[in-house]
Amino acid sequence: MLKKSNLILVTLGISLFAFVPNCKKGAATATLASDAASRVYVAPGEKDEVYAFLSGGFSGQMSVYGIPSARLFKIIPVFSVFPENGYGFDEETKDMLKTTHGYVPWDDSHHVEASMTDGKQDGRWVFLNANNTPRLARIDLKSFETKEILEIPNTAGNHASPFATENTEYLMAATRFSVPIPQASVAVDSFSKGGFKGTISMVKVDKNTGRLSIELQVLVPGFDYDLSRCGKKKSHDWCFFSSYNSEQAHKMLEVGASKKDKDFILAFNWVRAKECKDQGKAYNFGGEYVNNFREENKPAVSTKLSGVKMLNPKDCPGMMYYMPTPKSPHGTDVDSTGEYIVGGGKLASVIPVHSFSKMIEVKDKKEHHSTEIEGIPVLKYESTLAGEVQKPCLGPLHTEFDGQGYAYTSCFVSSEVVKWKLGTWEVVQHLPAYYSVGHLSIVGGSSTEPYGKYLIAMNKITKDRYLPVGMELPQSAQLYDISSGKAELLSDFPTVGEPHYSQMIPAKLLMDKTAKLYPLEENKHPYATKNENEARIVRLGSTIHIYMTAIRSHFKPDIIEARTGETLYFHVTNLEQDYDIPHGFAIGGAPNMTNLLIMPGETRTFKWVAPKPGVYPFYCTDFCSALHQEMQQYIRVSP
């Protein structure tokens, strides 16, 4: 007996010791693939396989990471000013942030969409939404710069945006916060009496230039439209929008909007909508909005527009159907074949999957309708259901597809990713996530041909994952290898802002197409100075235009004379034609302006009002050469 109890004690002791180190590491290593380090290691000089474009959340920007190394390459300013390179400050880019509300130098950016041709990523543009002040941006993937921003009128909270149709014919944008449309001061409790509405906007993308314009808006019942995905292949004509608060609660939404067992996924036939518009069924509707466009190496042009074509669902039968979906759905994701529409009911205990074919079969049969809301038929839940994944996890949110017949769903409440099989609806794997995962991304996962090797999970909470840095911890993303039968956690990395959504694009689609410089001979900037002999100072009354050149390692002209109160425009052209030689430009103490980074062959303008008399230095801020530190000069300001 004694011997036995000793044995038990010893065993206990050993297991205690064995667990102590593990406990210290928290949940870190238990499920990590054993050779994970070598699988994410990208040796010096080697390149990553994938570009990951992550939305910036409340930073209003977009960040670019390399996968699998998870190295941060770049922050692309989109809706927020960026002192690092002068975006939103200088004469070329300040108009990019103009809206009907004035200059709005910040936003809340949730979703990244990649342009597609025939349902496949084409590497031309990525798009980003602005949730707070409804806008939509186009980022060019040659220069990795924001080229266009379009404000969306008659909406509030541009959340279900910018989701593209199969050929990027249109981007969809829908209302998160239903509001009176047109805006008016009405009692908020009129929400539940139908006083508030939502809109779905079809934003046309010019297939050659990428230019954005509003084709049509559809006035929809005042629910909160949350996310969207457009169909592909057989479901090409359709886009699907999740909605919550079909209760139309306006107080304590937490409770009021969570009452019903089912909310809706709205199926929207955009081809039919366009048809109705062309048949004249849409009417002229108000709404002011601004379109900002920055052509390559030119100042942005901001255009104020007004009025859209508005369509009521009841005037266009066959355009919209509601599919009941449990419960407060967030994700509405279409698989790579275009057949399955997966709902992510964040309060639901199942993952419901609708069948597109079934929907088409029953949509116009009265016996499959349960009711109608403001001209939109509501289909019966069972009529369109392909199946349910039973007890997958807690809080399923968003589903991505690997193209091999498997789906991956993020589960916010239980902090995990579940892998399950399309068709059999069986869960095949639970992958822990650290912690509270929001959205997922698979390389090409929303296209018709996912590349399917990597999956990242974008998490909300990073307690105990990194060295603590005060109260605001970095958000984190986790990288999984999904190329083999069993998905494996490879690494995690802190992120900029709070990324909500991502598009990952194989490097080979982009890396050889990126621009290296702006050819000087093609520089059409109205204030360009293409060689040093043309550098000059032009006085127009109390305004001084300085046509300045920058080249290793000097500015020309170098000494500037001005009087207090005069306005100086430094039009600086970077004469370099070498890859990776930008020059910077900053003036000591300049208010209202930040640094400029001027790319080779580019012209940008720094506006400065001469302050009190003195001598003010200006200098190059981007280390350019052995004589970079000498690249400095003076402005003399006299009384």
Partner 1 sequence: MKTLLFQTLSKRNRLLILGVGLVLLAVYLIPIWSISISAPQYPEGLGMHIWINQITGATPYDLKNINLLNHYIGMQEIVSESIPELLFMPYVLGYLIFGAFVTELYPKVGMAILGIINLIFVGLVGLSDFWRWEYNYGHNLNPEAPIIIEGMAYQPPLLGCKVMLNITACSYPSYGGMILGLSLVVLVYILWDENRRKKSNVV
- In the complex, the residues that contact partner 1 under the rule CB under 8 A are 517, 519, 551-553, 576-579, 625-627, 630
Distance in Å, CB of 577 to partner 1, minimum: 4
Distance in Å, CB of 140 to partner 1, minimum: 22
Nearest one of 562, 501, 638, 397 to 163, comparing CA atoms: 501
Distance in Å, CB of 623 to partner 1, minimum: 12
Q: Is-cis flag, bond preceding 557, omega within 30?
A: yes
Identity of the amino acid at 290: V
Nearest one of 79, 45, 145 to 599, comparing CA atoms: 145
How far is residue 387's CA from residue 420's CA, in Å, rounded to a whole number?
A: 12
Using the minimum distance from each CB to partner 1, give the nearer residue, 278 or 578. Answer: 578
Distance in Å, CB of 553 to partner 1, minimum: 8
Distance in Å, CB of 142 to partner 1, minimum: 18
How far is residue 318's CA from residue 316's CA, in Å, rounded to a whole number?
A: 6
Using the minimum distance from each CB to partner 1, give the nearer residue, 534 or 578. Answer: 578
Taking phi first (over 0 means left), then psi (-120 to 50 degrees means alpha), and beta for anything else, what does residue 9 get?
A: alpha
Residue 270 in 3-state DSSP? helix
Using the minimum distance from each CB to partner 1, give the nearer residue, 337 or 553. Answer: 553
Distance in Å, CB of 86 to partner 1, minimum: 24
Distance in Å, CB of 532 to partner 1, minimum: 12
Distance in Å, CB of 578 to partner 1, minimum: 5
CA angle 417, 436, 263 (to 5 degrees): 80
At 193, phi and psi to the nearest 5? -105, 15
Distance in Å, CB of 258 to partner 1, minimum: 58
Residue 239 in 3-state DSSP? strand
Residue 12 in 3-state DSSP? helix
A 10 A CB-CB count for 634 gives 16
Distance in Å, CB of 269 to partner 1, minimum: 50
Distance in Å, CB of 536 to partner 1, minimum: 22
Using the minimum distance from each CB to partner 1, give the nearer residue, 312 or 577. Answer: 577
Nearest 10 degrees: CA dihedral of 596, 599, 603, 605?
A: -10
Sign of the four-CA dihedral 279, 281, 285, 291? negative
Using the minimum distance from each CB to partner 1, give the nearer residue, 337 or 577. Answer: 577
Using the minimum distance from each CB to partner 1, give the nearer residue, 18 or 626. Answer: 626
Residue 48 in 3-state DSSP? coil
Q: Which residues of 178-204 are buried (b: 16+ CB within 10 A; e: fewer)?
A: bbbbeeeeeeeeebeeebbbbbbbbbb
Residue 24 in 3-state DSSP? helix
Using the minimum distance from each CB to partner 1, give the nearer residue, 45 or 470. Answer: 45
| Beta-strand pair 632-638/559-563 | parallel
Instruction: Give rounded-to-5 percent helix, strand, coil for the chain.
Output: 15, 45, 40
Evaluate whether 168 touches 204 at the Cβ level (below 8 Å): no
At 565, phi and psi to the nearest 5? 95, -15
* Residue in the block written with tokens 């300045």: 548
Using the minimum distance from each CB to partner 1, give the nearer residue, 507 or 517. Answer: 517
Q: Which residues of 413-449 are buried (b: 16+ CB within 10 A; e: fewer)?
A: ebbbbbbbebeebebebbbbbbbbbbbbbbbbbbbbe
Beta strands in 335-415 (DSSP E): 340-345, 350-355, 369-373, 376-379, 385-390, 396-401, 406-411
Nearest one of 62, 31, 71 to 130, comparing CA atoms: 62
At 582, phi and psi to the nearest 5? -75, 160
How far is residue 308's CA from residue 153's CA, in Å, rounded to a whole number?
A: 8
Distance in Å, CB of 537 to partner 1, minimum: 24
Using the minimum distance from each CB to partner 1, give the nearer residue, 249 or 517. Answer: 517
Using the minimum distance from each CB to partner 1, give the nearer residue, 427 or 515. Answer: 515
Distance in Å, CB of 615 to partner 1, minimum: 24
Query: Which residues share a beta bridge with 512?
Result: none
* Residue in the block written with tokens 């199926």: 267
Using the minimum distance from each CB to partner 1, give the nearer residue, 261 or 578. Answer: 578
Using the minimum distance from each CB to partner 1, give the nearer residue, 575 or 587. Answer: 575
Cα 347 from chain centre: 25
Using the minimum distance from each CB to partner 1, give the nearer residue, 553 or 567. Answer: 553
Distance in Å, CB of 599 to partner 1, minimum: 14
Q: Is-cis flag, bond preceding 326, omega within 30?
A: no
Using the minimum distance from each CB to partner 1, give the nearer residue, 198 or 600. Answer: 600
